[in-house]
Amino acid sequence: MKKHPLEGKIATVKFDSGLEFRLDFLADHKMRWTSTRKVDAGATDVETIHIESYPGGIFSIDWVEESGLCVSYTLDTVNHFVKSFMTFTDDSYRGGRRPFIHEGPFQFILENGEPDLAVV
């Protein structure tokens, strides 16, 4: 499978909803997310991602979790910002899917936690 442009990168995201994650972009179109917020720190899973890159350092990253949660991130690597659109099962919403949107700062980091200043 073709290597994706973020493979080998590590990032942190801190959403306005309170969710916080470390993202490890792995080989074979995989990404490990790990919660870094106090209430569920260490919760983690590896997802198969679909990734597209666009001009200006913009990336679209999408996946479906085992629970059925559908996640779509739009990363702006120039302005260090991420916006997420998710849907999950809720029969009281149209199509039985409830939408959830949140956003916040995004930063590439090195393994030691320091900022990764290399250009993607």
The 10s digit of each residue's pLDDT in 36-53 is: 999 998 899 999 999 999
What mean pLDDT value characterizes the chain?
A: 94
Decide if pLDDT at 32 tops 70: yes
CB 86 within 8 A of CB 100: yes
**Percent of the chain whose pLDDT exceeds 70:** 98
Task: Place 118 in a pLDDT band, splitting at 50, 70 and 90.
Answer: confident
Residue 33's SS3 state is strand
Record the pTM.
Answer: 0.92
